[in-house]
Structure 1
Amino acid sequence: MSMDMNFQMRNKIDQLGLKGKRLEGKFLKQAGEVLAKGIAEEINRSKGGEGYKHLEDNIVVSNVKTNNYGERSVQVSAIKELGYRLKFLELGTSKMPAQAPIEKGVSLTRDDIRQVLADGQRRIMSL
């Protein structure tokens, strides 16, 4: 049933044309924002001085991207210059245990993301 629903959804988006792609992108971006907020909440705030970029404030959602197979997605990560800090927090180092903010953020926001995507799917299918 899931596979059939996926084809129905793809056909409906193709039928709506540009409007369908925009709606799909909007809902993917909303789901990404929910995940970014969940990840940011799991990161401890550092005590940096003035001008210090806190990792918690720099978790971003990319624009919607389409792969070679027509699947659309967004990426949720830290900005480029702070990505290494997120990697250290997620995986740990030889002197620091892993804190896994991404894993915890995903598990805490899974239901909210599912709700955003389901609402989006319902809205697109009702057009």
Structure 2
Amino acid sequence: LMSKFAVPLIAASGGGSVVFIGSQFGRVATTRAVAYCAAKAGLIHLAKAMAVDHAPDKIRVNSLSPGAVATTRLLRRFADFEAANVGLGPAHLLGRIAEPDEIAAAAAFLLSSDASFVTGSDMLVDGGYATR
């Protein structure tokens, strides 16, 4: 819905970039998360389809798919971030969960002119989770 209203404004300003936040679970499935996995896969494909539609408007559209990130969302399942890292870190090839700044840096790249030739892509920033 946000894109429906933002895209005409971005096009009118001469172009720009849209980044959807997906998840590694848009690429791989996990238990008891059917709706979440399907929704994140949908966002990844939405970015691809919008990239096709809006390339003539000079709008780049990508998705960013993080693995587990040390945010308050994890504190609903774990007592603290150390426990989250112990519980979830081994599922990532790098053996740990991400820091929020690592995901923010990837988003900043996709939104910047440094990514001027990147569109229709899903950037995995998942510490190798989806590789397993």
- Flag whether TM exceeds 0.5 (same fold): no
Q: TM-score, normalised by structure 2?
A: 0.26
| Structure label with greater radius of gyration | 1
Bigger strand share: 2
TM-score after normalising by structure 1: 0.26
More helix by share: 1
